[in-house]
Amino acid sequence: MARKAARAHTVAHLRSEPQKRARTELEFDEPTVLGALFGQFDANLVQLENRLGVFIAARGNRIQIEGASDDVARAREVLKGMHQRLLAGHELDSGAIESLIAMSSEPTLEGIISGGQDAPPIMIRTRKKTIVPRSAAQIEYMQALASRDVIFALGPAGTGKTYVAVAQAVSQLMSGSVQRLILSRPAVEAGERLGFLPGDMKEKVDPYLRPLYDALYDCMPPEQVERRMASGEIEVAPIAFMRGRTLADAFVILDEAQNTTPAQMKMFLTRFGQNSRMVICGDPKQVDIPGGPQMSGLADAVTRLEGVEGIAVTRFTSADVVRHPIVGRIVEAYEGKDS
């Protein structure tokens, strides 16, 4: 189905050269999505005004933007992106708007939003939702997930490292390009000593693997997750359970990889089998194993393997955080203190 795009009409040039101020008008052809575009009580427009320092006035299906010329141009592109996102059937929340704002200075923004004329849009389709890039680094990450055998994803919490990897794994499992989905992480406490946990083995390790379960249930209906786990198509296990295995026809994800030792990382990477893909996610600045960062298998592996054919490394920063904007500011504050 053909999609109608927003038409931008420049109604005035710069008012005064010293201030470099401009005014631009957008007209939208699909009035049915205007309520979602503007947000309740125009909350989405207010968010753009506050973030980009522009003034936005909405009249019917037309939006007028005033402010510094660069800010007006960015606001126009973000609004067009918001409109295209709604036409494509995607959700539009404050996080999605923040992501479009973050990408609005990227030359590839238009191609990522609409797919352009020469390439399909970058996205991952799962049974429950379609995931599109929410930061510039996620664009690179999704491309690597679709083309490389081993992918290292490095960066702070909230950048979508694990979530996007799980979404890609679910998509490939559903399409039949892999036969199994294996999710793993080291059973290391984050600065705490939890003692002996009650229950069987599954009950003991589940608290460590909860973030992986959360991402999995967000991409697949619960009954399918349970059925595929019972059949062995989906396996969630600590890294210690990987020893001695060859993981063929599988999409394998290792989360919190900064808490592996070099020996564990070597053991994990050498489990790679035919028709498989491995994604190793972690934050090198959040090492919880004894010995600190110098003993992390993640840093050691990236140093050894970056540049090797078939291996990709994607680095995320606080600018790529796609949770609440304050998470990015918290990460920046801690990174600045530690640097």
- For the chain, domain boundaries: 7-114, 124-338
Amino acid 246: pLDDT: 87
Classify the C-alpha dihedral 101-104-109-113 as positive or negative: positive
Amino acid 205: pLDDT: 63
Residue 53 predicted with pLDDT over 60: yes
Residue 16 predicted with pLDDT over 70: no
Identify whether the C-beta of residue 71 lies closer than 8 Å to the C-beta of residue 54: yes
Mean pLDDT of 141-154: 93
* Portion of the chain with pLDDT greater than 90, in percent: 25
Mean pLDDT of 282-303: 85
Residue 318: strand pairing partners: none
On whether the 7-114 domain is CATH 3.30.1370.10, my answer is: yes
Amino acid 78: pLDDT: 86
Cα(183)–Cα(165) distance, rounded to whole angstroms? 10
pTM greater than the 0.75 cutoff = no
Amino acid 195: pLDDT: 52
Identify whether the C-beta of residue 140 lies closer than 8 Å to the C-beta of residue 155: no
Per-residue pLDDT reduced to its tens digit, 191-220:
444 455 566 556 666 676 777 888 888 888
Range among 100-109, 150-159, 291-300 rated most confident: 150-159
Identify whether the C-beta of residue 156 lies closer than 8 Å to the C-beta of residue 331: yes
On whether the 124-338 domain is CATH 3.40.50.300, my answer is: yes
Identify whether the C-beta of residue 124 lies closer than 8 Å to the C-beta of residue 107: no
Query: H or E stretch including 151?
Result: strand 150-154
Amino acid 117: pLDDT: 38
Give the ranges where 92-221 is alpha helix by DSSP (H).
Answer: 94-103, 109-114, 136-147, 161-175, 201-219
